[in-house]
């Protein structure tokens, strides 16, 4: 028995799997720092707890938010407040809840944060917002059905295609609408775009009701994986010269990559525009608690990178290009 155990742990690949599983059991067990709904006001006022709004159940934001709270809670000083993660339908709702003091911090796309901070689009100016940390990149997924008819799918024009994008509740819709407006009517007829949840997008493409679905989310995503399993959906690169020119001129987009083997059957890296997910709060959040939270997460980056695939390239010391004009938490 002893020799068997020793051989297993000496194998580099198996030992890595075992170590990652142990980390997940210790830091990532669901329920340790999670709640389904907004806390009551007496809990908001309770200095022993602070709340982190994440995303919908099963989403990358929800999983990452729970991991962040769990890692912090395991490492915090016993006299420091606990972190509690909660589900939330999208960035705009998270902003509203945070600005009305219903939650303390949230994970939101950087372009939505910047628009809210500067009072652009549908937002009023919210210069009390503060950036705590940059998290993972959210890479656009262009999803089609893997069929003979799509063997030479032309991504450079959407005029003749039936297009669906992520729905209005999600931050991705905000980003995709801005991108397609910039691309202009020679690329896509915006009036023909239909908005759906990611799960409904995948099903609609499986049913041949749409030719392509565009989503902005963390990877791997359950809706995409389910579509791959059900009807052989596949991701295609969303990358061509006109699009790259738009991305290079944008303050909120970068070209990102979905690593190969992220999804079943994905044999190559997928290149597409991406937008950063940020951990944000307001200037009202307790200074000492906020800095302790930041420092614990920075000190445990190597652990965080092992706990979720979207965090593999995590760098909590970088500052996203988009928020150079915004204040970081603690700068006041």
Domain holding 88: CATH number?
A: 3.40.190.10
pLDDT at 225: 92
pLDDT at 318: 77
Q: Residue 115 falls within a domain, yes or no?
A: yes
pLDDT at 332: 65
* pLDDT (tens digit per residue) in 154-177: 999 999 999 999 886 667 888 899
- Where a domain ends, among 275, 296, 311? 275
Which parts of 168-221 fold into alpha helices (H)? 171-183, 198-206
Torsion sign, CA atoms 179, 180, 181, 187: positive
271 and 293 together in one domain: no
pLDDT at 150: 84
Q: Are 273 and 255 in contact (CB under 8 A)?
A: yes
142 and 165 together in one domain: yes
Round to whole Å and give the CA distance between 168 and 156: 24
127 and 11 together in one domain: yes
145 and 202 together in one domain: yes
317 and 212 together in one domain: no
pLDDT at 92: 78
pLDDT at 19: 40
User: Three-state SS string across 223-274, please?
Assistant: HHHHHHHHHCEEEECCCCHHHHHHHHCCCCCEEEEECCCCCCCCCCCEEEEE
Q: Residue 79 falls within a domain, yes or no?
A: yes
Which tokens in the block code for residue 321? 């290009």
308 and 271 together in one domain: no
Q: Residue 128 falls within a domain, yes or no?
A: yes
292 and 214 together in one domain: no
Round to whole Å and give the CA distance between 306 and 246: 33
pLDDT at 56: 82
Domain enclosing residue 309, as ranges: 2-136+277-323
Q: Residue 332 falls within a domain, yes or no?
A: no
Q: Residue 331 falls within a domain, yes or no?
A: no
pLDDT at 58: 80
Nearest to 48 by CA among 76, 85, 82: 82
Q: Residue 35 falls within a domain, yes or no?
A: yes
17 and 83 together in one domain: yes
pLDDT tens for the chain, 332 residues: list them. 333 343 333 333 333 344 444 455 555 544 334 444 444 544 445 568 999 999 888 888 899 999 999 999 999 999 999 999 999 877 778 888 988 889 999 999 888 888 888 877 667 778 889 999 999 889 999 999 998 778 889 999 999 999 999 886 667 888 899 899 999 999 999 988 999 989 999 999 999 999 999 999 888 888 899 999 999 899 999 999 999 999 999 888 899 999 999 999 999 999 999 998 999 999 999 999 999 999 999 999 999 999 998 898 899 987 665 556 678 887 76
Which tokens in the block code for residue 88? 């939330």
Burial of 191 (0-12, 13-18, 19+ CB in 10 A): exposed
The pTM (predicted TM-score) of the whole model is 0.80
Q: Residue 328 falls within a domain, yes or no?
A: no
241: left (phi over 0), alpha (psi -120 to 50) or beta: alpha
70 and 163 together in one domain: no
Q: Residue 124 falls within a domain, yes or no?
A: yes
pLDDT at 185: 94
pLDDT at 154: 94
Q: In sequence order, what are the beta bridge partners of 109?
A: 277
What percentage of the chain's residues is helix, strand, coil (to nearest 5)?
40, 20, 40
| Non-local CB neighbours of 64 within 8 Å, separated by 6+ positions | 54, 107, 135, 136, 218, 277, 308, 310, 311
pLDDT at 115: 83
127 and 160 together in one domain: no
pLDDT at 32: 39
256 and 291 together in one domain: no
207 and 291 together in one domain: no
Round to whole Å and give the CA distance between 301 and 105: 19
How many other CB atoms are there within 10 angstroms of residue 289's CB atom?
17
How many domains would you assign to the chain?
Answer: 2
Pairing, β 163-166 against β 233-236: unpaired
- Where a domain ends, among 242, 258, 275? 275
Which tokens in the block code for residue 315? 């760098």
């Amino acid at each position: 028995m002893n020799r068997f155990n020793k051989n297993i742990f000496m194998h580099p690949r198996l030992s890595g799997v075992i170590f990652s599983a142990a980390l997940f059991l210790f830091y990532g067990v669901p329920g340790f720092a999670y709640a389904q709904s907004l806390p009551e006001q007496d809990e908001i006022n309770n200095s022993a707890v602070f709340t982190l709004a994440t995303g919908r159940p099963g989403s990358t934001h929800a999983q990452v938010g729970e991991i962040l709270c769990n890692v912090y809670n395991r490492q915090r000083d016993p006299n420091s407040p606990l972190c509690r993660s909660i589900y939330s339908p999208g960035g705009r709702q998270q902003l509203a809840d945070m600005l009305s003091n219903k939650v303390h911090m949230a994970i939101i796309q950087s372009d939505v944060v910047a628009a809210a901070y500067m009072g652009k689009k549908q937002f009023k100016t919210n210069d009390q917002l503060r950036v705590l940390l940059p998290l993972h990149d959210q890479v656009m997924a262009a999803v089609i059905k893997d069929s003979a008819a799509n063997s030479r799918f032309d991504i450079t024009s959407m005029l003749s295609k039936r297009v669906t994008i992520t729905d209005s509740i999600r931050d991705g819709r905000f980003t995709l609408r801005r991108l397609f407006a910039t691309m202009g009517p020679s690329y896509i007829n915006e009036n023909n775009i239909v908005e759906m949840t990611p799960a409904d997008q995948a099903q609609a493409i499986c049913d041949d009701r749409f030719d392509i679905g565009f989503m902005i989310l963390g990877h791997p995503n359950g809706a995409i994986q389910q579509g791959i399993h059900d009807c052989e959906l596949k991701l295609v690169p969303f990358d061509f010269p006109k699009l790259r020119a738009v991305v290079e001129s944008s303050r909120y987009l970068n070209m990102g990559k979905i690593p190969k083997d992220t999804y079943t059957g994905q044999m190559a890296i997928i290149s597409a525009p991406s937008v950063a997910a940020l951990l944000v709060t307001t200037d009202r959040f307790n200074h000492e608690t906020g800095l302790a939270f930041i420092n614990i997460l920075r000190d445990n980056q190597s652990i965080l990178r092992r706990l979720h695939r979207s965090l593999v390239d995590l760098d909590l010391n970088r500052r996203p290009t988009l928020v150079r004009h915004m204040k970081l938490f603690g700068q006041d």
